[in-house]
Chains A and B, each alone.
Chain A
Amino acid sequence: MITKRRLVRLKNILMLLLLFVMTGCSKNYIVLDPKGPVGHAELRLIILSTILIAIVCVPVILLMLYIVYRYRDTPDNNAPYAPNWESSRLLEIIWWGVPIIIVAILGYHTTKGIYGLVKPPTTDKTPITIQVTSLDWKWLFQYPDQNIATVNHVRIPTGVPVQFVLTSDAPMNSFWVPQLGGQEYTMPGMAMRLWLQADHPGKYFGTGANFSGEGFAHMRFPVIAESQADFNQWVKKVKKTAPPMTQSEYEAIKNPGLIDQRTYSSYPPNSFVETLMKNGHHHTERRNENHDVPSTGTP
């Protein structure tokens, strides 16, 4: 028999374990610690889906353990035995019904989430655009409005929706900043859009997520979010102090290999669109919210 005291002790142990996991969470579980609206929206769905499946899965496993114990094949087991019992309309309706209801609830929230994420996370601020090109094996970021470029690091203002326009001038990769939100692929000849936004200043982990060859494991980049004023300050400083990126410099960066972070005060005009065109964009005339040719300015 399980006494009340044992139950209390069990509860205490569980609470301690939970506390242990939660404190572990805060720092390293970056997906569960979003710093912007997109990440938050995705976290809500992660939590909702976890709860909904737990409602089914935990009882199923407990039920299994109970059945295995209750109906074990020992001579002194006096549990009922019904070898020819093979159907029960009521139970089968429940088995089919419960999952259908759960899928309906989850499906509704999923649909809402999917359509929500193709829009800018906030509408009261003018968004900025950053064009992202994955290369072997580094990340190139171009700011069409500011006409500056960076390699392997990117800065964004806080509280402002950022539209990342993604392509690749190398094998496919995937652009992922877990604390800001989920990833989107970079694919040659295509320009795909990903809305992200940081609400808190900080340095966030960004990484290439899709295997792209030898140097793939090293394709990490910090995302630095800072106030609009600090961001403007930084842009000004880059304009003044950093070297320009010439066409030959771009070709040099494009060569397969690893390089450190770089910053440029300008880049060849239209180079992003040229990269797209060179890799076959004109062949794929898809026009929807994810696939149109980006203008060089803000949309």
Chain B
Amino acid sequence: MQTQHFFIVGDPLILGADISIILVSAAIIFVLTYFKKWGWLWREWLTTVDHKKIGIMYFISALLMLFRGGVDALLMRLQLMFPNMNLLESEHYNEIFTTHGTIMILFMAMPLIFAMFNIAVPLQIGARDVAYPFLNAVSFWLFFFGALLLNLSFVIGGSPNASWWGYPPLSELTFNPGPGENFYILSIQISGIGSIATGINFLITILKMRAPGMRLMDMPLFTWSVLSSCIVIIAAFPVLTVALFLLFMDRFAGAHFFTMTHGGDPMMYVNLFWMWGHPEVYIVVLPAFGIFSEVVSVFSKKVIFGYTSMVVSLLLISVYAYFTWVHHFFTMGAGADVNTFFSISTMLIAIPTGVKVFNWLLTMYRGRIRMTEPMLWTLGFIVCFVVGGATGVMLSVAPADYQYHNSYFVVAHFHNVLIGGTVFGMFAGMTYWWPKIFGFKLNPTLGKWAFWLWNIGFYVCFMPQYALGFMGMTRRIYTYPDDMGWTPYNVVSTIGAFIMALGFVFQVWQIVYSAKRMDRDVTGDPWDGHTLEWSTTSPAPYYNFAVIPKVEGRDAFWKEKKKRSQPDYKPEKRELKPIHFPKNSGIPFIMGVCFFIAGFGLTFHWVWLGVIGLIGVAATLYARSFQYDTEYVIPVEEIKKTEAALGRDI
């Protein structure tokens, strides 16, 4: 391979990115060296197995990916603002929309929900960590290096350009000989292993690590939503792994699973992809439902309405999720019987989802609604999601879908549910749990600016896209003629995208400003919360709870607080015991590096490098298998000292 094909330098945009990446990396290295922070970075972050720190790392990575995917989106919107624009060429545009989709779903939405899993679940169920803290770190580093591999394609070798679906035969060697598709396949494979491990980890954590007294039907709804999401992850992600593995075999080893000739069948990939792809949507939106349930209840000063209905609908959605995948290709000639089945099954999903919306409304009904930032995001979500859900039902009507399919109507719809659902949900979660993780609240004024900019920007950007769908504009076109009447709608849509970008700027400003200016939360319970995470200090100590709480029923901490306010309340004597705690480990990070080396080698068909990487992976597994001394004991003295430093006496 020639050097100019290896390092992408031809395009001024990419050259600019090259230079800025080099400058930023140099700056980071300089700062770390100058302030002698390398040891700190290694000890506190790279080797940590603490779920809270892993959550923070997921969160930071997700925000970076949101920025990267967002810049992609802005470039696309600029190119489409006017007909016959020349900002991007076809191939460059194709790479950008492919990475936009891949990053937003797999490297933004996934780590963002995992951030919330990690930050909130163990604290909510009164546990000291997840079931498998070491595996949790492995999951994170596999995600991290998977994301790094995909992002590297931008400057080395060339980005994938066959859309985030990667449908063969377009993604096969015949039509796509470059390394781009290999980057796509291998980066998703590497982070996918991590996702499956996270699914298993949190399922077991929730089933086995709950505080004494907490029955399943006492769990906070966020925990329930994570449980449902994990079930879907465990069942759906292996399908993607298999589909991408077969595609990789086609490309790497000359197999013919999905080729046009020699018995291959591209349709098989389409089915496998969406058997994962549709449940994936629920994987990322169910945790958002959970967050909204927490927020609505706390900020209406009420218990959640219809708890059982909420749990049933979560579980129903996670089961239904597997029976709707064909609605992504009603137009591929599956036949009337199949299309009817999947039309109806898709409509059925609307029922449990609708019930959830009603229950949120009834939770607010006869409550006292506090318009805090998490609550604003929740209300913004309800409106946005009702619209998105409505257009989802419209899309489920197969004959109507023949007209919507592949048009901007679909683009508007899934942004409606993914931004309105997942992204708003995670922002609600971020602002809600922020004080618990960092020890201070986010500035509400800047937050409200961010909220309104995001919301207004959203409608300005995506409502015109519904109209464009009715006007026959198809998705994934890099340019369009001026005789279709599409121009004004595209202009408005682009303006909306920039308003949302401004919202993101406000959020970054909010975080930076709040870190400097906001008061510390000394209560540990800044929102008058209902669940156990608010019973410990903010930020929580690394062992979470000095004494594992005892739980009686739902909204455990709310009830506890009521009990405490009774005049005849006598605090129970709490006895401290030494805590067994997992040791930090560098192995997950090193394993991630080895996977990265293997993935990079296989991307360029450098088998020797791939083998070196995989040997490294095997070596780290081997080393871990013979590590027996993986825990240590925190003595009572140290717990006392830590608690005292956090302002709590035992």
Please indicate whether A and B come from the same complex rather than being unrelated chains.
Answer: yes
B399 touches A113 (CB 8 A): yes
Given contacts A99-B350, A279-B260, is CB(A67)–CB(B368) below 8 Å? no
A209 at the interface (CB under 8 A from B): yes
Give the contacting residue for B397; candidates A73, A99, A106; CB below 8 A: A106
CA A181 to CA B402, docked complex, whole Å: 8
How many Å lie between the Cα of A103 and that of B351 in the bound state? 8
> A64-B379, A217-B90 in contact; A50/B394 too (CB < 8 A)?
yes
Q: Which residues in window 324-341 of B have CB below 8 A to A?
A: 329, 331-336, 339-340
**Contact between chains at A110 and B474 (CB < 8 Å):** no
Determine if B348 and A103 form an interchain contact, defined as CB atoms under 8 angstroms apart. Answer: yes
Between A73, A115, A216, the greatest number of chain B beta carbons within 10 A of the residue's beta carbon is seen for A73
Is A135's beta carbon under 8 Å from chain B? no
CB distance from A132 to the nearest CB of B (A): 13
B contact residues around A106 at 8 Å (CB): 347, 393, 397
Report how far A192 CA is from B347 CA in the complex, Å: 26
Given A110-B398, A188-B169, are A95 and B355 neighbors across the interface (CB < 8 Å)? yes
Kindly provide the distance from the CB of B85 to the nearest chain A CB, expressed in whole angstroms: 11
In angstroms, Cα B351 to Cα A289, docked, is 32
Q: Does B300 belong to the interface (CB within 8 Å)?
A: yes
Closest to A73 in B: B368
A83 within 8 Å of B (CB atoms): yes
With beta carbons under 8 angstroms apart, the residue of B264, B300, B340, B357 that contacts A114 is B340
- Is B350 in contact with A182, judged by CB distance below 8 angstroms? no
Whether the Cβ atoms of B333 and A185 lie closer than 8 Å is yes
| In contact, A83 and B94 (Cβ under 8 angstroms) | no
Chain A proximity mask over B356-390: 1 for CB below 8 Å, otherwise 0? 01110110111111110000000100110011011
Query: When the two chains form their complex, are residues B361 and A209 in contact, meaning their CB atoms are under 8 A apart?
Result: no
Measured CB to CB, the closest approach of chain A to B396, in angstroms, equals 8
The answer to whether the Cβ of B219 comes within 8 Å of any Cβ in the partner chain is: no
Given contacts A85-B302, A171-B169, contact A290 B351 (CB under 8 A): no
Q: Tell me which of A92, A208, A283 contacts B474 (CB under 8 A).
A: A208
Q: Does B170 contact A (CB under 8 A)?
A: yes
| Chain B nearest Cβ from A36, distance in angstroms | 13
List the one stretch of B180-188, B433-441, B476-484, B631-639 in contact with chain A: B476-484
Name the CB-closest residue of B to A87.
B306
A210 at interface by CB-CB < 8 Å? yes
**Complex interface: stretch among A54-62, A224-232, A259-267:** A54-62
Complex interface: chain B residues within 8 A of A278 (CB): 261
Q: Is B309 an interface residue (CB 8 A)?
A: yes
A side interface size, CB within 8 A: 96
> Residue A273 at the B interface, CB < 8 A?
no
C-alpha spacing A102/B182, complex, angstroms: 45
A208, B478: Cα distance in complex, Å: 13
CA distance A117 to B357 in the complex (A): 35
Judge whether B307 and A86 touch: CB under 8 Å: yes
Q: Contacts of B467 on A, CB cut-off 8 Å?
A: 29
- Residues from chain A with Cβ under 8 Å of B334 in the complex: 290
Q: Which of A8-16, A74-82, A139-147, A149-157 contacts B (4 or more CB under 8 A)?
A: A74-82
Q: Which residue of A lies closest to B299 (CB)?
A: A73
Q: Beyond A71-B368, A95-B358, A183-B405, is A172–B305 a contact (Cβ under 8 Å)?
A: no
Contact pick for A57, options B163, B263, B387, B398, CB 8 Å? B387
Partner of B485, one of A28, A64, A82: A28
Q: Do A87 and B305 contact each other (CB < 8 Å), given the known contacts A67-B361, A184-B402, A283-B265? A: yes
State in angstroms the CA–CA spacing of A28 and B488 once bound together: 12
Inside 8 A of A216's CB, which chain B residues have their CB? 90, 476-477
CB distance from B403 to the nearest CB of A (A): 4
Q: How far is the CA of A153 from the CA of B125 in the complex (A)?
A: 64
Contact of A31 among B390, B394, B470, B476 (CB under 8 A): B470
Name the residue of chain B whose CB is nearest to the CB of A94.
B358
Residue of A30, A39, A171 most packed against chain B (CB within 10 A) = A171
Q: Which A residues lie within 8 Å of B389 (CB)? A: 57
Q: B174's closest neighbor in chain A, by CB?
A: A171
Bound form: Cα–Cα A98–B305 in Å = 18
Interface string of A212-223 (1 = CB under 8 A from B): 111111001000
- Interface flag for B475 (CB, 8 Å): yes
Q: Is B343 in contact with chain A by the CB < 8 A criterion?
A: yes
Q: Which residues of A contact B477 (CB under 8 A)?
A: 216-217
State which of A28, A63, A208, A209 has its C-beta within 8 Å of the C-beta of B407: A209
Cβ of B469 under 8 Å from chain A: yes
Give every chain B residue within 8 A of A182 (Cβ-Cβ).
Answer: 331, 399-403, 405
Chain B CB within 8 A of A211 CB: yes
Q: Which residue of chain B has its CB nearest to the CB of A181? A: B402
Question: In the assembly, what is the distance between CA of A278 and CA of B262, in Å?
Answer: 10
| With A86-B303, A86-B306, A114-B343: A213-B94 Cβ-Cβ less than 8 Å | yes
A176 within 8 Å of B (CB atoms)? yes
Check B344–A107 contact: CB distance below 8 A: yes
Shortest Cβ distance from B334 into A: residue: A290
Closest B residue by C-beta to A77: B368
Given A185-B329, A207-B474: A53 in contact with B390 (beta carbons within 8 A)? yes
Determine the chain B residues whose CB is within 8 A of the CB of A290 once the complex forms: 333-335
B512 on interface, CB distance cutoff 8 Å: no
- A95: which of B302, B354, B407, B475 is its contact (CB, 8 Å)? B354
B472 contacts A by Cβ under 8 Å:
yes
Q: Are B175 and A213 in contact (CB under 8 A)?
A: yes
B366 pairs with A85, CB closer than 8 A: yes
The 13 listed contacts between A and B (C-beta, < 8 Å) are A29-B467, A63-B361, A72-B368, A73-B301, A84-B302, A87-B306, A96-B351, A107-B344, A110-B399, A115-B340, A170-B175, A182-B403, A205-B472
Interface residues of chain B, those whose CB is within 8 Å of chain A, are: 90-91, 94, 162-163, 167, 169-170, 175, 260-267, 300-309, 329, 331-336, 339-340, 343-344, 347-348, 350-351, 354-355, 357-359, 361-362, 364-371, 379, 382-383, 386-387, 389-390, 393-394, 396-403, 405-407, 467, 469-472, 474-481, 484-486
Besides the known contacts A72-B371, A178-B472, A190-B267, 18 further A-B residue pairs in the complex with CB atoms under 8 A apart: A42-B402, A71-B368, A73-B368, A82-B366, A82-B367, A99-B354, A113-B400, A114-B399, A115-B336, A116-B399, A171-B169, A181-B402, A183-B403, A184-B331, A187-B332, A189-B265, A192-B333, A207-B474
Which 9 A-B pairs rank lowest in CB-CB distance, beginning with the nearest?
A182-B402, A28-B485, A171-B170, A217-B477, A192-B333, A113-B399, A290-B333, A211-B476, A209-B406
